[in-house]
Amino acid sequence: MHKQNFKIILSFLLILVSNFILAQKKFTVVLDAGHGGSDHGAYRNYADIGRVAEKDVTLAITLKVGAMLEKNKDFKVIYTRKIDEYPSLSDRTNLANRSKADLFVSIHCNSSQRPTAYGTETYVQGPNQNDTNLEVAKRENDVIYLDEKDKQIFGSYDPTSPESLIALKLQQSKYLESSLLLGGLVEGNFVNRDKRFSRGVFQKNLHVLRMNAMPSVLIETGFINHPEESHYLASEKGQDEISQSIYLAIIDYKKAIDRKSGGNSYATKKVEPEKLAEVPLKNDFRILLMSSPTKYNDGDPALKGLNYILTIKENGQYKYYYSVTNMASVKDINLKTAKDAGFRNAYAVGFMPNQKLSSGYYTLEVYTGDKLNANSFIIQTLKDVERNKENGVFYYTYGKVYTLEDAVKLQKEIEAKGIKNTVIQKVYK
């Protein structure tokens, strides 16, 4: 063989190999232009520029973000739509799940009854204590929610078992932290680069966020019904600025994730053999976030965006526990998640499963405050509610059970009847 030819073939092979390695490491982003086809989304007609329809604005911005990402060889871009058509919400999330995307970004425009409302906001998956949502998610998505590592840990379990539900919850809480990161970057860019007004990052229970097995955000890029903002949304300048801000946020997000993980969080990691053989612990472990005399409901900023919190009142103090597991590796992840969220002093507490209290019982604190009227929903719904009074404040409790598991069960039962934000209370005799 001619020496020159050999060199050419060798360099060609090298390019092939390096392209293969690069292809392995691509970060897949699903871009979802909201609405489309017969679904116009929000729209307004203006005398000077005619109709501004959400479906057109979202598509224009999405295509611009995609074009910028596609120039970067670290990224693979998948669009839920590139033309004026309407994929269903399930089509959109199924596509994202099937393609094992690393990130899902849904782009929308807002509208409000109040004509003065304006600004941007970004949504991440909302407080999801509601187990019916998890049940639906589990039924419809089944194992797709489990990544490779969790499948190794939980795969041998019956999918209807509590352990699988815990895995599912764990997955969702992992996505939440990353989704919040991207949401903050997007809104930060809108404010700092584009001088927009940001309404903030919020949690909301939306299909495209709930059903995705990856970090996901939904960006409301501005209000269609606000005349000034609508003109901005419809303009080339506005669409360029918005898409650049979203693009740069995605770039920074990937950098942050790479830094955290040493560069391959989104690639499937090899599972070490000892992980496969991990034996469940005797105790359940919950992460104690804090004790406080104040009661915080789901979604309260004091809980720093964490879900799956169990509150137990003991001696007048509310103790906030995050997640539950009987796997040592998962316990460590949960503790890290809690610390990363800002609970620096969090630690793991062991609970013996189904342990009966010997010198007391559990009851549910269903209400504190003013005296309840006999026609009130709580009194009407729960016949055997008990009334107590302490320091001039009334508090109402319901039920008497002897294990924490029974207390959680009782809490779910009355939640299904519409009585939310109850607290399990430990009473000593």
CA-based radius of gyration for the chain: 25
Measure the CA–CA gap between 397 and 48, rounded to whole angstroms: 61
Query: Which residue of the chain is nearest Zn ion when measured via CB?
Result: 108
Q: Does 222 bind Zn ion (CB under 5 A)?
A: no
Nearer to Zn ion, 107 or 364 (CB): 107
Nearer to Zn ion among residue 110 and residue 323 (C-beta): 110
Q: What is the distance between the alpha carbons of residues 324 and 406, in angstroms, rounded to a whole number?
A: 15
Q: Beta-strand (E) ranges in 148-301? A: 198-204, 216-223, 284-292
Question: How is the beta sheet containing 347-351 ordered, strand by strand?
Answer: 347-351, 284-292, 317-325, 309-314, 423-428, 360-369, 393-401, 386-390
Please list every residue from 266 through 295 that binds Zn ion, using CB under 5 A.
Answer: none
Judged by beta carbon, residue 57 or residue 165, the one nearer Zn ion is 57
Q: Which is nearer to Zn ion, 41 or 126 (CB)?
A: 41
CB of 41 to Zn ion, least distance (A): 5
Angle at 379 (CA atoms; ends 378, 380), nearest 5 degrees: 90
Shortest approach of Zn ion to residue 111 CB, angstroms? 8
d(CA 139, CA 202): 26
Q: Which of 41, 66, 119, 184 binds Zn ion (CB under 5 A)?
A: 41
CB of 34 to Zn ion, least distance (A): 4
Q: What angle do CA 243, 245, 248 make, to 5 degrees?
A: 105
Interface positions, 101-120, toward Zn ion (CB under 5 A): 108
Nearer to Zn ion, 122 or 425 (CB): 122
Pick the stretch among 38-46, 63-71, 156-164, 299-307 that binds Zn ion (CB under 5 A): 38-46
Q: What's the closest the beta carbon of residue 210 comes to Zn ion, in angstroms? A: 16
Of 34, 35, 53, 33, the closest CA to residue 43 belongs to 53
CB of 123 to Zn ion, least distance (A): 11
175 backbone φψ class: left, alpha, beta (φ>0; ψ -120 to 50)? alpha
Residue 180 neighbours by CB under 8 Å, 6+ apart? 124, 201, 305
Q: Binding segment for Zn ion among 31-39, 97-105, 182-190, 298-306 (CB under 5 A)? A: 31-39
Is 34 among the residues that bind Zn ion (CB under 5 A)? yes
Cβ nearer to Zn ion, comparing 41 with 183 = 41
Give contact residues for Zn ion (rule: CB under 5 A). 34, 41, 108
